[in-house]
Amino acid sequence: MTAAREYQFTRKDFEFLRRLSSQRTGIVVTDDKFDMFYSRLARRVRALGLQNFADYCDYLEQPAHDDELIELVNALTTNLTSFFRENHHFDYLAERVLPEVAQRNRGARSLRLWSAGCSTGEEPYSLAMVLAEQEKLLRGWDIEVLASDIDSNALAQASAGIYPLNRVENLPRARLKRFLQRGRGAQQGKARVRDNIRHYIRFEQINLMERLAVEKKDVIFCRNVIIYFDRVTKARLLDRFADHLVDGGYLFVGHSESLLQVTDRFELVGHTVYRKVR
């Protein structure tokens, strides 16, 4: 027996909200997300002092309440991540990609990476650790990791660079000592990312469905993001990524994602690692 809901939530409400969220994020929302929408958005209905979800839908339609669209997206986006998730990608970056880029860019001595969909920051900080460990190869280079996400709350956590100790305990001891600082006082039980890798990263809120005003990159990590898009949206986003990669630039995607029969602008060169071909 289904427990009584605090707020009335109809199919009409769900259809409106999933259409709005898809327009905003490009994410395809399936029918089985009905309960998830209720559980995550009920707190917004409560916070706004509204009576039901129909009132919430009306609220979102008012131009004066555009800021609530940000809260809607924040509530619905999933931020599952960890340091060095899918570690083979970071090995491939260190062993294959960075030496190649160092040779190609030896004149400009510039390196640009993008963590697109960086969530709470573990991915861009992992990238920064790899870059710091390649200090001999990249000493004196102009290096930047753009870390972006649509979720402003997740991005704020990422920028803060503070994590519970259980989120970092699986890192090798050498990396823990070199790149993280154990908190004290009010920060006891937490770890803060040290400045020796923070300086590589620039955080920016970016909606991948909107026009991308970013410079060309040598490497893009966009993992476990395109899996949520339909085929047309995937193709459009991959075109944008190709346009924002240098010739021969690399795109890393998630372990369950494939570009096969979606785009011909990349070739597969490793396990879920692609190189731009046109």
One of 13, 18, 112, 149 is an active-site residue; which one?
149
Summarised one tens digit per residue, pLDDT across range 10-45 is 999 999 999 999 988 888 888 999 999 999 999 999
Cβ neighbors of 231 (< 8 A, separation 6 or more) are 262
Domain residue spans of the chain: 11-76, 87-276
Chain-centroid distance, C-alpha 155: 9
**Is residue 152 scored above 80 in pLDDT?**
yes
Q: How far is CA 137 from CA 17, 101, 108, 128, 170, in A?
A: 49, 10, 14, 14, 27
- Distances in Å between the alpha carbon of 100 and those of 33, 40, 127, 265, 273? 43, 44, 16, 20, 15
Better-scored residue on pLDDT, 177 or 29: 177
- Residues 158 and 120 sit within 8 Å (Cβ to Cβ): yes
To the query of whether residue 218 is one of the catalytic residues in this protein, the response is: no
Per residue in 219-270, pLDDT (tens digit) is 999 999 998 898 999 999 999 999 999 999 999 999 989 999 999 999 999 9
Question: 102-135 burial, b for 16+ CB within 10 Å, e for fewer?
Answer: eeebeeeeebbbbbbbbbbbbbbbbbbbbbbbbe
Average pLDDT over residues 185-211: 93
The fold for domain 87-276 equals Rossmann fold (3.40.50)
The answer to whether 44 touches 56, Cβ cutoff 8 Å, is yes
Residue 5's pLDDT is 87
Confidence of residue 1 (pLDDT cuts 50, 70, 90): very low
Q: Which CATH number fits domain 11-76: 3.40.640.10, 3.40.50.1000, 3.40.50.300, 1.10.155.10?
A: 1.10.155.10
Q: Per the residue annotation, which of 24, 40, 104, 178 is the catalytic one?
A: 40
User: Global pTM?
Assistant: 0.86
Are 11-76 and 87-276 the same fold in CATH?
Answer: no
Q: What is the mean pLDDT of residues 163-170?
A: 92
Q: Which residues have C-beta within 8 Å of that of residue 67, sequence separation ≥ 6?
A: none
40 is annotated as an active-site residue? yes
